[in-house]
Chains A and B, each alone.
Chain A
Amino acid sequence: MPEKEKETQDGQISRRQFIRNAGIVVGGTAVGSSILLSACGDGETVTKTVTKTTTVAGQTVTKYVCPYDNQEFDTLAALKAHLEAQHGDGGAGAVEGIITLKVNGQDYIIKVEPQWTLSYTLREVCLLPGTKQPCWRGECGACTVIMNGRTVYACLALAIECDGAEIRTVEGLKVDGELSPLQRSFIQNRGFQCGMCTPGFLMTGVALLEKNANPTIDEVRQAVSGHICACGNMNRNIQSILEGGS
């Protein structure tokens, strides 16, 4: 890749690199502090620290550091505004948007292209491939994630429209490192066959059970009516949710 500019030695990333690359991910406190320039064919995979935590007078202070010019900001929103204004291809956010997502409790700043779907962004930029996208066209429900408390087909949502959203995926289901009661119920009831539709059923199950801890079987059937299980395991998937409350 002769024409491609590499990350500079001091950790700075060139503006050109920024524009060429697919996304930036800002690590929040959940899993450590890192920035990732995601690989999407053209780019390099680079991991950068962008949050700086210091203790001042006994208080922990977190600053958000721009990966390009090392300026510090008090909030993620301020860093995002700075990135858009200074490093976002003339700030043309509508064309090449910088969005923030909170996925499974972790903050991300991602530079998305307008045509990227949420499922693509989760899988290829956030590197969370648990969200499957078999049909890629809103027909099967396997890509279902919870966005701001509601289930959505991630393959039908454009990432650029999800700015600021709080998203939960199958990767975030474990509780304190342990499988959740719903996951355990899916195991006990063998609520899976090939495993491709399973993450979607799980996310719809989570959304249902959080609103209704003791659903009837008809309520579960209604809730998962937007999902396909081609292997033919629907009865067990439903039973898994029915018994998955706790």
Chain B
Amino acid sequence: MADELSVIGKPGNIDQQAVECVTGTIEFPNDVYLGQKLHAKILGSPHAHARVVSIDASQALALDGVEAVVTHEDVPGWADVKYHVGDAVAAVAARDENLAYHALTLIEVEYEVRAHVVDPDEAMQPGAPLVGLFPDGNTTLRTDIVRGDIEAGFAEADVTIEDESGWTNRWMNSPMGGGNTTAWWQDDILHAWVDTQNPHGEHRGFTGSFSLPHNKVRVFAHGAGGGFGGGRAAVQSVAAALAKKTGKVVSLHTDKRDNQMRGVTHFACKSNIKMGAKSDGTLTAIDAQFWGDGGVNTRPPYSGLPDCLQIGFRCPNANFKVTGIITNAPPSGYYRCVQHPPGAFLMNTALEAMAEELGMDPLEFRLKNVLTLGEPDQDNGRAFSFNTLTECLQDAADGIGYAAGKHAPGAKTLPDGRKHGLAVTGHLDGHGGYGSGRGAIITLRPDGTCFLNSGISRSSCGTNTAHCHFVAETLGLKYEDVRTGDYGNTAVTADGGMQAGSTNTNQTGAAFTVAARDARAQLFEAAAGMFDPPVNAADLDARDSKIFLKSDPAKSLTHAEVCARNQRIIGRASAGWPAVLNFDVGPWPAGTPANQRVPVAAGAEVAVDTESGEVEVLKWVAVTDIGRVVYYDGAHAQAWAGLYHMFWQAFYGEHIYDRETGMSLNPNFLNHRWPASLDIPYDALQEVLREGNSGLGPYGATGMGEPVASQYCVIACAIYNALGVWCKEPPFTPWKILKALGKA
């Protein structure tokens, strides 16, 4: 390998999906044309908890053009009991979309309505209505982390605080796509086009749902339309069941209302954190209790809350407990991580409160307690691959002029009468290093170019372009000679794993790096015999689509020359690091215990109007150390997108349920909306990428999808610094601010 990188991190390389995206030809599930097709729509339960007694679809089926109706009796995985409003009851296939919608209104369902509970506080109370998923209550209690001696820790403390948060917001992932499927049975072989983050997972789902051998399912996951963690085709079996029943192609399109009634929500959580510190600011004890509202998800994704709360800051004595709550609301799931955004929120607001109690500058207090490079994980003792949280915090502070501008909470009023606030927060994000194994296949072509094939999805955030960077670098090819072949086509790819946990770039990338080495070994072996006189493969290197003698680079062959005579070169690999790094793809040797962290920090400057409750973001600098920038434009776009998502979490994202009915009150893009072009403070938002160059991934890379979106807590802290009053119930809408000020 050449010492200096020739492809990785270079600006200007074009995204692999660019042309598809700008011509509208990227293949989303509903865009597939297979001749005549039926359109499917889903009928959701109007009740938050009910059992279906009977379904009469005769009127719907009598409509000309309505071809099939399926219910829990046909669709694998559906039950007769419905646990939230919108829970799927029936689905119809008709010759056009409107007809399908119309047919839904003609399906008569008799329900046995049961008591329900939507409010998590109420769900916890003795005697509360049962959600129906646990036999004897709505909660599960577990102690997650016990470290040191909590009593001794508090005895050692000079100052203790008890910090109680409100419920963080529950929000929908709200990707543009999501929940769409086109399905078709070619005799007994199911073909399914889905938008998903996990193509081979969907493949396995179909084999299970329809009792099919693995080679009788073909999943095509070519266009995802976003996902942010929610990108799983939760309703995929519906289209397949309808396709089976009708013998035709069935396309299920879930519009935004459908999607938000049934899709994945980020869970809401709250905490009670007791914290002890010595007067010099040294943390001695944290006793934290969390409550998480999982909706109807009984396998709560908030189980990792304590993990994300504790990993960044040093504290020898700690207890972390989580109470999981279920409610009759749509299932909670993943949004740009499971628990890090709220975990970072709860921890950083508590740290801010403790700093004030101590009379210390909050940044100084954080820096005093932040885990630094060389300090191991406090619970498993493993070393981190790298840790630049201290530097990230300082960069964030510098980015907003913290040192010069800092002031006591509530102490600064701007000339226009608004209150001014500054804050810096930080977090050691736990992503980017673990997950299932990943497979990758590289086929070299006769002209020396190559295709990359993997079973992972194309959520289009630039990860498959990053894979091309790894392969080009490793094979010594020019970037333009490397292209993605087929991604997400399960019949022709190895299991590429799930696009989750910020692992696509580094972990699927590791598989591609190893596959590229496999191909390179074959290529060099073939090339060695073509030199005159023949040379040893070990004496060769490659760069810029040329294979040359290390000792005499002028003696070279092109990849094209070698591949023209060796047309069967395929590089293959599977790689992963569930517990340890299996391949020495980066600066770390195989066998390194996998403890990947991504340090993130944010600095924010806000102005708060205490009359209107409006918060203006004057500056928001988000710093992430992603180890190595691989695909330059993609990495920066993703970092800015992370800032945008944090802005959304802080000020917009909130999915509201009516307590009485369990009905979502804003299942759409208007009332549960993304900031649009006139809502974004472009000049205030600044993304900063650091390169620690020592991540566990290939060439020192880590993942970044989740870390870059985990710091909305900085806005809560900045608002506190402005007002001297806490508002701990995001999103920080004018009403919430006025409520915190006692004005609403």
| B557 sits at the interface (CB 8 A) | no
The answer on a CB contact under 8 Å between B175 and A194 is yes
The answer on a CB contact under 8 Å between A136 and B676 is no
| A173 sits at the interface (CB 8 A) | yes
Q: How far is the CA of A218 from the CA of B685 in the complex (A)?
A: 17
The answer on a CB contact under 8 Å between B28 and A196 is yes
**Contact A41:B67 (CB < 8 A) given known A134-B177, A234-B680, A235-B682:** yes
CB closest residue in chain A, given B31: A129
| B669 sits at the interface (CB 8 A) | yes
The digit string for A173-217, where 1 denotes a CB below 8 A from any CB of B, is: 110000100010011101111111111001000000000000000
A22, A137, A235: which contacts B96 (Cβ < 8 A)? A22
When distances are taken between beta carbons in the complex, the residues of chain A under 8 Å from B669 are 135, 137, 139-140, 228
| B127 sits at the interface (CB 8 A) | no
Q: How far is the CA of A78 from the CA of B22 in the complex (A)?
A: 37
| A64 sits at the interface (CB 8 A) | no
CB closest residue in chain B, given A183: B22
Contact size range, B: 35 or more
The digit string for A108-142, where 1 denotes a CB below 8 A from any CB of B, is: 00000101110010011001011111111101101
| A225 sits at the interface (CB 8 A) | yes
Q: How far is the CA of A226 from the CA of B677 in the complex (A)?
A: 8
Interface pick from A27-35, A42-50, A95-103: A42-50
| B404 sits at the interface (CB 8 A) | no
**In the complex, number of A-B residue pairs with CB atoms less than 8 Å apart:** 211
B619 to chain A, nearest CB (A): 16
When distances are taken between beta carbons in the complex, the residues of chain B under 8 Å from A238 are 677
When distances are taken between beta carbons in the complex, the residues of chain A under 8 Å from B462 are 190, 193
Interface residues of B in 1-41 (CB under 8 A from A): 14-15, 17-26, 28, 30-31, 33, 35-39
Q: How far is the CA of A230 from the CA of B37 in the complex (A)?
A: 29
| B668 sits at the interface (CB 8 A) | yes
When distances are taken between beta carbons in the complex, the residues of chain B under 8 Å from A174 are 23
Q: How far is the CA of A174 from the CA of B673 in the complex (A)?
A: 32
A129, A221, A229: which contacts B674 (Cβ < 8 A)? A229
B634 to chain A, nearest CB (A): 7
The answer on a CB contact under 8 Å between A41 and B248 is yes
**Contact A226:B676 (CB < 8 A) given known A40-B96, A129-B30, A134-B176:** yes
B17, B22, B223, B645: which contacts A232 (Cβ < 8 A)? B645
| B641 sits at the interface (CB 8 A) | yes
The answer on a CB contact under 8 Å between B36 and A41 is yes
Q: How far is the CA of A228 from the CA of B648 in the complex (A)?
A: 12
| B333 sits at the interface (CB 8 A) | no
The answer on a CB contact under 8 Å between B642 and A124 is no
Q: How far is the CA of A103 from the CA of B685 in the complex (A)?
A: 40
User: Which of B24, B64, B226, B461 counts the most chain A CB atoms within 10 A?
Assistant: B24
Interface residues of A in 54-113 (CB under 8 A from B): 113
The answer on a CB contact under 8 Å between A134 and B633 is no
Interface pick from B250-258, B348-356, B374-382: B250-258
Interface residues of B in 318-372 (CB under 8 A from A): none
The 5 A-B residue pairs with the shortest CB-CB distance, nearest first, are A130-B24, A41-B95, A232-B641, A39-B36, A232-B644
Q: List 18 A-B contacts (CB under 8 A).
A: A43-B95, A44-B36, A129-B24, A129-B28, A130-B25, A136-B253, A139-B669, A179-B19, A183-B22, A186-B18, A193-B641, A196-B28, A224-B677, A230-B175, A230-B228, A231-B175, A232-B642, A232-B643
| Given A192-B18, A194-B224, 15 new contacts (CB under 8 A) | A22-B96, A40-B36, A40-B96, A129-B24, A135-B255, A135-B668, A142-B176, A190-B462, A194-B175, A194-B460, A230-B176, A231-B176, A232-B644, A233-B637, A236-B640
